[in-house]
Amino acid sequence: LDAVEPFDCIAFTGSADTGRMIRSHPAVLAANPRVGIEADSVNVAVLAPSATPENAAFERLLEQALAAVSVKAGQLCTNIRRILVPADVKDAFVEALATRIDGLVVGDPALPEVTVGPLVDERQLRAAFAGLAALAPETRTVRGGGIPAAVHGADVGEGAFLAPTLLVADTGVRLSAVHDVEVFGPVVTVIPYASL
């Protein structure tokens, strides 16, 4: 960063701590280049109050939520982490998403039938478990939450496997960790809301 100049552009994705270090670097402060940082994102998807289980938006959100726990084992910085749904359709949404998660195949991503591979490494798996522990007081686990009992085409003890995890907050009020902690893996949290 010492070489940065006014017309440079810095793009970073990763931890908020590193993002703060980049923003506060003396050369960045002096040159004032364009800085784009995505850090520790806890992205949200919101189902409109008018959506019902028969609605196309309901189905589309189910597809996106399933992708959030399967594509790259949930390790996308732009991934959905929180799903806000109207309280009156929460149970239907959770049930439908849980059923789809049950159809995912965890294992060796080189195999065509596998839909969820391992996390990057053991360090990331430990970080995911720490994040799940932080979310536990505010949520209940509907699916996953640990190492799968078995994986397809791989040794569960040889990879950093985390079962696709569906968490649910029973109420949308007085939540803190759910809005601040990103579990960088196949984890989504459904949160009901009563009104806009």
Catalytic position from the list 5, 59, 77, 122: 77
Residue 9 known to be catalytic: no
CA distance 196 to 183: 26
Catalytic position from the list 38, 63, 122, 158: 38
Structure-block tokens of residue 91: 């149970």
CA distance 5 to 52: 52
| Angle subtended by helix axes 56-70 and 90-102, to nearest 10 | 40
Residue 38 known to be catalytic: yes
Query: 43-46: long-range contacts (C-beta < 8 A, 24 or more apart)?
Result: 43/78, 43/79, 43/80, 43/81, 43/82, 44/80, 44/81, 44/82, 44/83, 44/84, 45/80, 45/82, 45/83, 45/84, 46/83, 46/84
Mind telling me the catalytic residues? 38, 77
